[in-house]
Structure 1
Amino acid sequence: MRKHLFVVLLITLASYSYAQQARVTKKDSTKTAQDSIKKTEFLKNIGNGFLPFNYFNIDLKYLIKFNQYEGIRSGLGGITNDRFSERYRIDGYLVYGFKDKALKYKIGGGFRINETSNTWINLAYIDDLQETGSSKFLTDKRFFTFFEPRLLNIDLFHRHITKSISLQHKFSNHLLSETQFAISKIDPTYYYNFLIDNKTYSSYDLSTSKIGLQWSPFSTFAKTNGKLEETKDGFPKFTLQYTQAFKSILGSDFNFSKLDFRTIQQFQHKNNAITKLTLVAGIAGGDTPITHLYHAYPNNIRKETILQRFSVAGLNSFETMYFNEFFSDKFSTLQLKHTLKPFKITDRFKPQLVLISRYAIGDMNNTSRHQGIQFSTLNKLYSESGFEINKLLFGFGLSFAYRYGGYHLPNFEDNIAFKFTFNISL
């Protein structure tokens, strides 16, 4: 009998221990899964340039930057997250330029009026700088890099104080839209006069409306952790934006219109090589000041030797085109990149060769309107080709580009751009 009782006791203890161990394992498994989700979410936020806190995510892009006008630009900014509210958000930043000794800031926020279509109404007040000749699409996703290569050498900025209201709306997962109305005070930081009807403007007010559309017909979407996310980045993609400035409305000085277009196509080859084509075009009509015209994203500084011009190559910029060399009221650019399969030297050392060709063409009517600034037009085809060898050491690589065709320069060295690249992903 004692033997039987002992055996039963051993079986009971073993069963109890096994049951307890199973529960611990289940708890550990759940905790591990939760930790993994939190880690993934944290890395995703960092990859997008945010450091998440309880109710507020710090925006890393405002911590430190550098350009030729502000010198070191440093500050703090961020946006509330879903823990704060899923219907309301507040965002803003405050930065200081140590060279121009001036504060810049933004105060903004928004509220969602429809969850299914992700419809938001946003308000913003901005007092900051913007690069002259740059053009941004309202519907572009947030894009973050640890540093912006072109920004280092930009010196042509205009200051703007802008009050805006915008409406974001998703017609479908594939078609996004944003509409904005804004009033701005524009003050170039360089000597510039805009001559219209025998009157010159060194600063001016603008009232503008914009509507932007982004169509991604071949992307696929799925719900992950209750949130809809893009699971396949399909190509081609199309972006279209129309801008209209209204004279005499809320003190606006000029009447003009702009139409901007971009399409991106990408081919994934069987050998893991990738070919990417990017076409960008824009046209401006009416009384458009140079601040709102186009450059072709140049990224070369005016120095005598190749090594003096050694800097950082951009992601989608013309490396041999000098800053402020060209401006256009109509232009088009085509960029072709062919990225070869990485060369596996060792498990850690996998450099990658990218072949690049870029082309630009444009023109400008009434160049004499823009006084105090010297520039050329792109009425001949601008061409450059070259290559990058990326990820040689800690994400750094090298870039080489050569300028040829209609804007080939007499001095051979002036047509060459030799720079380093920086590519890192989390």
Structure 2
Amino acid sequence: MLNRCILLICFFCFYFSQAQYNLESGSKIQQDSLKRKEFIQHLGQGFFPTRFLDLDLRYLIKFNQYEGIRTGLGFVTNNKFSERYRINSYLVYGFRDHRFKYSIGGGFRLSKSTNTWINLAYTDDLQETGSTKFITDGRFFQFFEPRLLNIDLFHKHITKKISLEHELHNTLIFESEFATSKIEPTYAYTFNINEDSFTNFDISYTKLALNWNPFNKIINQSNNKSTIKQGYPKITLQYTKSFKDVLKSDFNFSKIDFKSIFRLGKTSKSFSEITLVSGIANGETPLTHLYHAYPNNITKETILQRFSVAGLTSFETMYFNEFFSDKFITLQFKYFLKPFEISQHFKPQVVLISRYAIGDMQHPEQHEYINFDTLNRGYTESGFELNKLFFGFGLSFTYRYGAYHLPNISDNVALKFTFNVSL
């Protein structure tokens, strides 16, 4: 099933990469060129535009170890429907857990000049345990998210939320939300706190987030602001606070999360990229809201059995559910060599990679029926990628060493596909 799903996803990736090539090699007529550019911009943001609705491509097809194939459809209304109001929703179905998931939401704009919106949403879905979502990241999109293929640790949540979006400046976005969630892990888990045991729980929380892109270049296009060139660094800061006894919430805890991306050099030549992610949780924090370090390795005996697709910022030799922390820092360094211009359409590129993670957990004994380690000794892996060998596909090799080096040499090796395509 997994192999067939990978082939299906690869087909969609091949389709989009071919569509990009056909568009770029088409007519040079100015009107067609403008339409093509607008269409590609919509695809790059994760939408397939129609007259009144933009179909959300994030929900088209995915795969994970709990749901199996997950497929469905989402949409958001566009400016032709209304410039003041919007409706967004999705409906998906998991073929392995035989369950529908959905979200119904909408919003209304308070100010056009600052792009200020008030949003409401009701969501019944799954979330990966230990993952942190920056609420400002909803503006970014990937056609292919390789980590999703192997994730098996999810918790169900029914979440009601109200949120605010506001542009303080062209390069500074503020978002906040207040939400209440009913959480039910899909795996055996008990959280012990203050002599009470919880197998499911309610959480009411607020989030405040800033996304700062000081060197982005902005232009006005069709009366809407659009980023035409990405600048660096990119910085995101988020604060989360859970309130006990507010709308039957069970816990008091707080989290501070930080992410920054730096790039040095020109993309047409060799350049370096550094990604720093960190987080700290204080208080009565269940495992569902703690941190993993973005692992992307499945627990199989041989290298070929673990062969899958490498992520963009994940630890390729770190096994799923191997580590959890209530405080952590990851640092990833990539050095992109200048592409080899073998022909007009064949320009493979070598990327040298090194990753480091360190973390800890104050009370691991509070989390029962699940075994994990902490990152207090520091985790390291290094390797390389050979990208864009065939329609965006390439290969990667990564090796795990240092304090968490495993006795069996082959268990420290990750050999995988890569996929890179830009719209």
| Partner SS state of residue 280, structure 1 | strand
The corresponding residue for 1:286 is: 283
The corresponding residue for 1:89 is: 86
Q: CA deviation at 1:271?
A: 7.0
Identity percentage over the alignment? 64
Q: CA deviation at 1:150?
A: 0.3
| Partner SS state of residue 36, structure 1 | helix
Aligned partner letter, 1:52: P
| Partner SS state of residue 296, structure 2 | strand
For residue 330 of structure 2, the aligned residue among 330, 333, 343 is 333
TM-score, normalised via structure 2 length: 0.91
Residue 174 of structure 1 pairs with residue 171 of structure 2: yes
The corresponding residue for 1:248 is: 245
Structure 1 stretches of at least 4 aligned residues deviating more than 6 Å after TM superposition: none
Residue 148 of structure 1 pairs with residue 123 of structure 2: no
Within-5 A mapping of 1:331-370: 331-370=328-367
For residue 372 of structure 1, the aligned residue among 369, 372, 389 is 369
For residue 103 of structure 2, the aligned residue among 103, 106, 109 is 106
Q: CA deviation at 1:218?
A: 2.3
Residue 258 of structure 1 pairs with residue 255 of structure 2: yes
Structure 1 CA distance for aligned equivalents of residues 141 and 258 of structure 2: 22
The corresponding residue for 2:130 is: 133
For residue 33 of structure 2, the aligned residue among 17, 32, 36 is 36
The corresponding residue for 1:408 is: 405
Structure 1 CA distance for aligned equivalents of residues 209 and 260 of structure 2: 14
Structure 2 CA distance for aligned equivalents of residues 270 and 75 of structure 1: 36
Residue 303 of structure 1 pairs with residue 300 of structure 2: yes
Structure 2 CA distance for aligned equivalents of residues 142 and 172 of structure 1: 16
Q: CA deviation at 1:245?
A: 0.2
Structure 2 CA distance for aligned equivalents of residues 262 and 61 of structure 1: 23
230-239 or 409-418: bigger deviation: 230-239
Residue 63 of structure 1 pairs with residue 82 of structure 2: no
The corresponding residue for 2:113 is: 116
Structure 2 CA distance for aligned equivalents of residues 58 and 228 of structure 1: 20
| Partner SS state of residue 143, structure 2 | coil
Q: CA deviation at 1:304?
A: 0.6
| Partner SS state of residue 373, structure 1 | coil
Structure 1 CA distance for aligned equivalents of residues 172 and 39 of structure 2: 28
Aligned partner letter, 1:181: F
Within-5 A mapping of 1:308-323: 308-323=305-320
Structure 2 CA distance for aligned equivalents of residues 293 and 66 of structure 1: 24
Residue 164 of structure 1 pairs with residue 164 of structure 2: no
Structure 1 CA distance for aligned equivalents of residues 156 and 207 of structure 2: 20
Unaligned runs of 5+ in 1: 1-30
Q: CA deviation at 1:212?
A: 0.2
Unaligned runs of 5+ in 2: 1-27
Structure 2 CA distance for aligned equivalents of residues 84 and 224 of structure 1: 18
Q: CA deviation at 1:384?
A: 0.3
Residue 50 of structure 1 pairs with residue 47 of structure 2: yes
Aligned partner letter, 1:67: N
Structure 1 CA distance for aligned equivalents of residues 217 and 140 of structure 2: 20
| Partner SS state of residue 139, structure 1 | helix
169-178 or 183-192: bigger deviation: 169-178
Aligned partner letter, 2:281: A
Structure 1 232/271 Cα, relative in aligned 2: closer, same or farther at 3 Å?
closer
| Partner SS state of residue 33, structure 2 | helix
Residue 417 of structure 1 pairs with residue 409 of structure 2: no
Q: CA deviation at 1:216?
A: 1.7
Structure 2 CA distance for aligned equivalents of residues 209 and 196 of structure 1: 22
Structure 2 CA distance for aligned equivalents of residues 171 and 146 of structure 1: 29
The corresponding residue for 2:216 is: 219
Q: Tell me the matched-pair count.
A: 396
The corresponding residue for 1:391 is: 388
Aligned partner letter, 1:366: H
The corresponding residue for 2:189 is: 192
Deviations 1:91-126 (A, max 9, x none): 000010000000000000000001111110000000
Structure 1 CA distance for aligned equivalents of residues 346 and 231 of structure 2: 29
Q: CA deviation at 1:149?
A: 0.3
Structure 1 300/422 Cα, relative in aligned 2: closer, same or farther at 3 Å?
same
Q: CA deviation at 1:281?
A: 0.5
The corresponding residue for 1:276 is: 273
